[in-house]
Amino acid sequence: MKSKNFFEKILKSKGFKSIELDSIIESRYVLKRSGGNFRQYLFSFYDQNFKEWSLRSDLSISSVTKFIKDKVNGRTKWYYTGEAYRKSKIRSDSVIKKQTGFEIYASKNENKDDEEIVQTSIKILKKTNFKKAQLNIGNIEIFYALVNRLDMPIRWKERIQRHFSREIYLNKLLKKLSTNSDINFGVVEQDKKKAEKLRKKNPKQIFSGRSLKEILDRFDIKNYSDPRLNSNKKNVKIIRDYFKISCSIDKAPKILNKFFKKNNLNLIIGTDYFPIRKNNLKNIKVLFSTNIGRNVPYYSNMVFNMQVKIKGKKHTFISGGRYNFLIKNLGYKKNVPAVGAAIDLNLL
Amino acid sequence: MKKDIINIAIVNKGRLKIRSENVFKKAKLKILTKSDRSLVASIKGYPSIRVMYMNATEIVEALGTGVCDIGISGKDLWRESEASIQSKIFLIKQYEWGNSDLVVAVSTSWLDCVNPTDLEEISFEFFNKKKRLMRCATKFKNLTNEWMSSRGITQYDLVTSLGATENSVEISKADFITDLSSSGETLRQNNLKVIDDGVILKSSACLFVAKNSMKKKEVKKIIKLFT
């Protein structure tokens, strides 16, 4: 096996600067991104001021907090190597994940930076002992555009988009949508009467952290403005069929546009959604897939992964994507577009 | 702990104590106690059996750590215990008494919240508009996390409650709760309603045995008497 640090040379030659990440991070940053549910996977503790800290569970989050803390300006390219610590419900899983990450912050030309991250990944892969690989590319933005074109209530569109990264739960949601099983019509009629009484009260009055106005606004949208449509079954079928699309990358725009036309969605996708347009790159097969990047909640646009075979089993060696909203979500004053990838060092 | 002594743990007070003692009566095992306040007892004719009166949560811990061999406690407490404890305990029998449901309850004024999908959407309302996580008061953190996760709810924070969880919403300690409910009356009295699909666990008293004790002949014999 070649030196494990060969990729550092590649990253340096591509202009990425080495940085050190903090080993511990304020838990609120992780919880802000992943929600309180994620707390069960954290190794966390309190300091003398009752501030909660945790061992870094995700290197990208640590990198973003460094970007915010250092008040970095302009386009920034950096890389880091380290360990992320996360509990797992699977006993055989290691709690330590060794990774090298490389990122470009504040992209001026997003397509160009996406391409650079993918091309750098390809270069790293070519220097390994893996003889063959499969590069899967997707784009979450296309999914968002598709959902926006569907004829369904806005809150359902938002819900479906929000849960792109939670595959099992999204399937449950789609089932609910197709069967209208989240509405209890008997209860709705009773609640409509109660709502009329509540309308006479002060709309600013707070009930369990929410104002009466917020409660009634949502109640009205849900029960008056968003009548269920018969087309929901059709919409669910369109979404499910979309997730089945997988093809060689050069055919992706044609196949997608055909799919959108067939379903009368008035949507056209150009080649600029894909950082690579060739099907084969010397032992690397390039595919477009609608069903990748579904395990990272902060990806927002282009996503990719590079799979290799070890003893006949497929493993993801490098994975990455664009996250244009993460930095603002973690407390920065404005949106900073960013794209990055991580190498799984455990496979080397 | 002597190896030849079989320790059976039962709840030390309330209705569960009486119902647990009835299990012994049905098995024709007479509990002998020195006084009403004594927390250790023996069984007439069975010198190798010791009955230990404990708090219901402690019984589960005691089974998991090998302090006792057999125990009667709540299913909710067993399911809530840490995986390292839970995996060391077998559920032998679920009784039809000590029933209660662990439920998700929200303010009755939240007219727009009738199911987990609504709760998930409201959690984002808190996150986006109020810039904070929606808070849930509970004594059952593990079971609550599991339920939330299975319903796609991620934007929440748990607030530990040690008792009187039902008033957490009223006193603004939390935005909603998960708690045990038998008849639902306490929830109603505190202006709370259980949401659809909001039963996290249907619980009742159960007979448990420590996995490591299953090999003991005496333990097998007692279990047979109890079942």
Q: Indicate if B100-202 has the same CATH topology as B6-98+204-226.
A: yes
Sequence-separated (6 or more) residues with CB below 8 Å from residue A200: none
For residue A98, is pLDDT > 80? yes
Query: Token match 């302090």: residue?
Result: B67
Residues of chain A positioned with their CB less than 8 A from the CB of B144: none
As given in the structure block, the two tokens for residue A7 are 């990729």
**Residue B227 scores a pLDDT above 90:** no
| For residue B153, pLDDT beyond 70 | yes
Kindly state the average pLDDT of the residues B40-48: 91
pLDDT bracket for residue A348 (50, 70, 90): confident
As a whole number, the mean pLDDT across chain B is 91
Q: What mean pLDDT, rounded, does chain A reach?
A: 87
Assess whether pLDDT exceeds 60 at residue B1: no
Phi, psi of A232 (to 5 degrees): -60, -40
Among A37, A191, A207, the residue with its CB nearest the CB of B145 is A37
Q: How far is A313 from chain B (nearest CA, A)?
A: 29
Mean pLDDT of A256-272: 92
pLDDT in tens, A11-42: 999 999 999 999 998 888 777 666 666 777 88
Tell me which residue of A133, A149, A151 sits closest to A141, measured CA to CA: A149
Residue A34, chain B, CB below 8 Å: the answer is yes
**What are the distances in angstroms from CA A175 to CA A247, A268, A323?**
26, 28, 29
More confident residue, B19 or A167: B19
pLDDT value, residue A273: 85
Residue A169 has a pLDDT of 85
Can you tell me the distance from the alpha carbon of A10 to that of A13, in angstroms, rounded to the nearest whole number? 5
- Between CA A164 and CA A153 the distance in angstroms is 17
A210 near B CB under 8 A:
yes
Fold annotation for B6-98+204-226 = D-Maltodextrin-Binding Protein; domain 2 (3.40.190)
Is A218 within 8 Å of chain B by CB? yes
Can you tell me whether residue B17 is helix, strand or coil? Answer: helix
Q: Where are the domains of chain B?
A: 6-98+204-226, 100-202
The Cβ of residue A218 has, within 10 Å, a number of other Cβ atoms equal to: 20
Probe site for chain B from A27, A197, A208, A224 (most B CB atoms < 10 A): A208
Q: What residues does A55 pair with on adjacent strands?
A: A24
Q: What stretch of H or E contains A181?
A: none
CATH number for the domain formed by residue range(s) B100-202: 3.40.190.10
Rounded Cα distance between A56 and A97, Å, is 11
Among partner residues A34, A37, A208, which is closest to B148 by beta-carbon distance?
A37
Contacts of A194 in chain B (CB under 8 A): 111
Are the CB atoms for A283 and A292 separated by under 8 Å? no
Q: List Cβ neighbours of A91 (8 Å cut-off, separation of 6 or more).
A: none
Distances (CA, A) of A82 to A28, A60, A96, A97, A329: 21, 11, 10, 8, 24
In the beta sheet, which residues pair with residue B102?
Answer: B180, B201
Q: Could you give the ipTM of this predicted complex? A: 0.83
Give the tens place of pLDDT for each residue, B121-133. Answer: 999 899 888 888 8
Q: Which domains does chain A have, with CATH numbers?
A: 6-146+238-347 (3.30.930.10), 166-231 (no CATH)
Tell me if residue A157 falls in helix, strand or coil. helix
